Amino acid sequence: MSLADKVLAVNDDLPIRTDAPVHSGKVRSVYWLTAADSARLVLERGYDVAPDAPLAIMVISDRISAFDCIWHAEGGMRGVPGKGAALNAISNHWFRLFREQGLADSHILEIPHPLVWIVQKAKPVMIEAIARQYITGSMWRSYDKGEREFCGITIPDGLQRDQKLPELLITPSSKGVLNDIPGVPAVDDVNVTRSDIENNFSAFKFNSVGDIDLYERLLREGFEVISAELARLDQIFVDTKFEFGYVKDKSGNQKLIYMDEVGTPDSSRIWDGEALREGRVVENSKEDFRQLLLQHFPDPDILLNKARMAEREVLARDNALPVEVLMEISKIYVGIAEKITGASLQLAENPKAEIIEVLRNEFALVD
């Protein structure tokens, strides 16, 4: 079996029993279980959820996205070896710490395979909860052009690229296209202010104005937990994106939880501490891949300019990257996962067959 065959690139074609379309995102695919299978698993596995809670199987792939496109390499390699397992292992580690320190639950109920989560359905809050400890990336580019207000927060003059901010900055953006919110354009991923959210909390799918305080507290606390743990490893938590949603517990009470992934190289920037003390930025995150793409193509504006999205999609479709590029990215993902978890990352030889076997034999979800 070639290395390319060990990469799980297509994850929406598994024979998992479902009566709903498979939702396939950039990296994960979600299989909504039948009502009967959901109720059976809740009972058999003793999950702390409502008896009629909808459940899903979430399968992570090894695909890599950047600038809203999926990228591939020569030789039929359509993903990064070990990337999916690394992302899940890191998220699992942080979610466990969050629970141990009393922050909030996640949507994950069980982890039957390194590439698989069993999750309960959550009602997502329509906010990309972003926290920044350093000025870099898109924020630096805007600041360098003279912008000083970010999501309603004014930051001082005189900051340098990659400098630590005076305090942790919360700069939320919209999740999806939200219509009829005054002052908020009806486009995906647009910056919003705290006032925007407060004045339109129901449009952002918050249950109450008070839950805005709760999401910000959980974002700050989660950031601090991860930042402190990474500091022990001489790694710097630069910025991150969290997602939140509502679920019902066994008693039918709604609670706000963490969703999706947290503190991973896909959702965060992580810098090497020793390198930064020497005046260099060494990325242990997907930002390294983004920078590589910007240097690889002669016209980086295609990647940065949203108005050129059609050109960007053609660029990603028609350009196979050197295999070495994805192997270097694999080293970053696997390396930081092993550093964070303190354990060797076990990569599947035949990921799809393994997933099918465990879901058939242990959960009776494959006919």
Q: Considering the domain boundaries, does residue 236 fall inside one?
A: yes
Are both 252 and 149 inside the same structural domain? Answer: yes
Angle, vertex CA 205, rays to CA 245 and CA 152, nearest 5: 100
What does the chain come to in residues? 367
Q: Considering the domain boundaries, does residue 54 fall inside one?
A: yes
Phi, psi of 56 (to 5 degrees): -145, 155
pLDDT of residue 3 exceeding 70, the answer is no
Q: Which residues pair with 239 in a beta bridge?
A: 132, 269
Q: Tell me, what CATH number does 134's domain have?
A: 3.30.470.20
Are both 111 and 147 inside the same structural domain? Answer: no
Q: Considering the domain boundaries, does residue 295 fall inside one?
A: no
Residue 1 pLDDT level (bands cut at 50, 70, 90): low
Q: Report the alpha-carbon distance of residue 3 to residue 22 in Å, rounded.
A: 27
Q: Tell me, what CATH number does 98's domain have?
A: 3.30.200.20
Are both 272 and 131 inside the same structural domain? Answer: yes
Of 251, 277, 303, the one marking the end of a domain is 277
Are both 207 and 265 inside the same structural domain? Answer: yes
Q: Considering the domain boundaries, does residue 366 fall inside one?
A: no
Of 240, 256, 277, the one marking the end of a domain is 277
pLDDT of residue 135 exceeding 90, the answer is yes
pLDDT of residue 67 exceeding 60, the answer is yes
Q: Report the alpha-carbon distance of residue 129 to residue 317 in Å, rounded.
A: 30
Q: What percent of the chain has pLDDT over 70?
A: 99
Are both 233 and 115 inside the same structural domain? Answer: no
Of 250, 277, 304, the one marking the end of a domain is 277
Tokens (6 digits) for 140: 């630096």
The average pLDDT across 32-39 equals 98
Q: Considering the domain boundaries, does residue 265 fall inside one?
A: yes
So what's the pLDDT on residue 4?
67
Sequence-ordered alpha helix ranges (H) in the chain: 3-6, 35-45, 83-100, 137-144, 194-199, 210-232, 273-277, 287-296, 301-304, 309-318, 323-341, 351-361
Domain span at residue 67 reads: 3-122+340-361
Q: Is the pTM of this model over 0.75?
A: yes
pLDDT of residue 286 exceeding 70, the answer is yes
Question: Which of 4 and 25 is assigned the larger pLDDT?
Answer: 25
Q: Considering the domain boundaries, does residue 283 fall inside one?
A: no
Count of domains forming the chain: 2
Are both 184 and 201 inside the same structural domain? Answer: yes
